[in-house]
Amino acid sequence: MKPFLKYFFLTLVIIYLSACADSLNKYSEPIKNIIPKNTEKNKDLNTDLTFKYSIDDLPTNYNPESDPNALVDELGLWMQVEKIEKSTITAGNLVKNKNLNNYINKVFCKVSPEYCNEIRIYIINVPYFNAAMYPNGMMHIWTGALLRIQNEAQLASLISHELAHYLKRHSYQAYERAISISGASTIGGILLGAAGLGSINQLIQLGMASNFYSYGRNDEREADGYGLVLMARGGYKPEEAANLWKRIIATSKKLSLLEVSIFRNTHPSGPEREKNLRKTAKIVPKNNSEFIGKKEYLKALEPIVPSLIAKEVKQGEFESSLLLFDKLIKDDFYLPYVYFSRGELYRTKKDHIDFDKAMENYKISEKYSTIEVKNLYKSIGLIYIKMGNKKNAKESFNKYISLHPDANDTNFIKSFMETL
């Protein structure tokens, strides 16, 4: 390279860096912090030594929209989230059952009387374990979580975990980090690309992403800690938070190595969380914290159980659905539905089809109730057809039609039977 060009480039780099200085300064805090400290990791393993989460750390009248210190980016984030909320209110998969919604709101108010009227909880019919807190005070709970939760205390633990994210402004901080880290990795990438180190650039991007997610892990730990504080204050037995994680681990299929590595980046591992929660539950400040509320929870869930289970079957993860149904049977959870649905898994899931096992489950469901599960005799009829037993198939279809004469597929089944 000619000396002239060298200086030309050097000058450019200086001009460029000084032009960016402002933006780098603005985000200097998170960028400095993206290098994870080893000591922090060790601290996490020793949570039982001192309890570092106190209810006094949480604001009692936090209202993001009236925050005079709100930054420009934060206002923009709310603009987006308000749109999401508007769309959520009219979403087709919103669970509108009044009693269930009232019940969940009641549990929330027990956990946090301060924010009883501020937080809006929406139940979304998606068959995966998830809940999400938005920075404007909107909370989503997916029905996959409701099907895995066993009692009111576990529901309270999920709600208080999400509320802790909100009160600690985690989603806004994650958003700021995403902006600054994506910027840092772009600048780094260009500089390295210029130096002919393009492949290293990819490694850096990966490193940046993993730093971003390591924050996610810390946020989760913090939310777990404050979550326990909130639920125990509300009178719920804090050990149930650990039991919820035990349940999630028991009803999840084993992840592939790749899935594990991606998931581990954003969340502490399930067993780690269960262990930490169990340890911390012993030392969290209690307030008569003994309530579990299994009966109350199951009663509130009852009206939507058929639709929850049907969605779980449709979801297509044979292994985890089977694990879940096995656990639900152990818990005596709405047995006619669960046995029927386990039969449906064996009847419909590719690579796992087993007519004998399906029939076995349908028959148990029938023993509990012949009318509770609407599609029971239809499914039994379909299995008989696959087995080549037309006589029994017709008999089952006739039972279905006589039990549900107004069903919208009776005419279809009648004409189908004529072809048998």
Partner 1 sequence: MNIKIIYIVLSVIILSGCSSNKAIVAIDYFPPQTKTIVLLESDIELSEHTVGGMLVPKSDWTKLAKENLNKAIQNKLNSIRANVKNISENNALDQKGIQLMKTMAAMGNTVLIHNFIANASLPTKKDNPVWSMGKETSYLKQKYNADYGLFFFVRDQFTSDARQATKIFAALLGIQMAAAIQQAYAGIVDLENGKLVWFNHLLKTSGDTRTQKGANEMIFELMKDMPS
Contact residues for partner 1, defined by CB under 8 A: 5, 12-13, 15-16, 19-20, 22-24, 72-73, 75-80, 86-87, 89-90, 178-179, 181-187, 190, 193-194
Q: How far is the CB of 20 from partner 1 (least distance, A)?
A: 5
Q: How far is the CB of 123 from partner 1 (least distance, A)?
A: 17
Q: How far is the CB of 275 from partner 1 (least distance, A)?
A: 36
Pairwise CA distance, residues 227 & 150, whole Å: 18
The 10 Å CB-count burial string (b at 16+, else e) for 138-174 is bbbbbbbbbbbbbbbbbbbbbbbbbbbbbbbbbbbeb
Backbone angles phi, psi at 313, to 5 degrees: -65, -40
Pairwise CA distance, residues 310 & 316, whole Å: 11
Considering just the CA atoms, what is the radius of gyration of the chain in Å? Answer: 27
The residue (of 89 and 203) whose beta carbon lies closer to partner 1 is 89
Q: Which of 252, 259, 248, 169 is nearest to 215 (CA)?
A: 169
The residue (of 63 and 182) whose beta carbon lies closer to partner 1 is 182
Q: Are 165 and 223 in contact (CB under 8 A)?
A: yes
Pairwise CA distance, residues 282 & 50, whole Å: 12
The residue (of 19 and 257) whose beta carbon lies closer to partner 1 is 19
The residue (of 23 and 261) whose beta carbon lies closer to partner 1 is 23
The residue (of 183 and 285) whose beta carbon lies closer to partner 1 is 183
The residue (of 143 and 185) whose beta carbon lies closer to partner 1 is 185
The residue (of 19 and 258) whose beta carbon lies closer to partner 1 is 19
Q: Which of 390, 316, 391, 307 is nearest to 352 (CA)?
A: 316
Q: How far is the CB of 93 from partner 1 (least distance, A)?
A: 13
Q: Which of 270, 211, 216, 213 is nearest to 241 (CA)?
A: 270
Q: How far is the CB of 394 from partner 1 (least distance, A)?
A: 41
Q: How far is the CB of 184 from partner 1 (least distance, A)?
A: 7
Sheet holding 131-133, edge to edge: 120-124, 138-142, 131-133
Pairwise CA distance, residues 393 & 27, whole Å: 69
Q: How far is the CB of 214 from partner 1 (least distance, A)?
A: 18
Per DSSP bridges, beta strands 131-133 and 138-142 are antiparallel
At 121, which helix (H) or strand (E)?
A: strand 120-124
Q: How far is the CB of 250 from partner 1 (least distance, A)?
A: 38
Pairwise CA distance, residues 292 & 95, whole Å: 24
Pairwise CA distance, residues 314 & 341, whole Å: 10
The residue (of 189 and 238) whose beta carbon lies closer to partner 1 is 189
Q: How far is the CB of 175 from partner 1 (least distance, A)?
A: 8
Backbone angles phi, psi at 307, to 5 degrees: -70, -35
The residue (of 24 and 100) whose beta carbon lies closer to partner 1 is 24
The residue (of 78 and 226) whose beta carbon lies closer to partner 1 is 78
Pairwise CA distance, residues 350 & 327, whole Å: 22
Q: How far is the CB of 75 from partner 1 (least distance, A)?
A: 4
Q: Are 122 and 138 in contact (CB under 8 A)?
A: yes
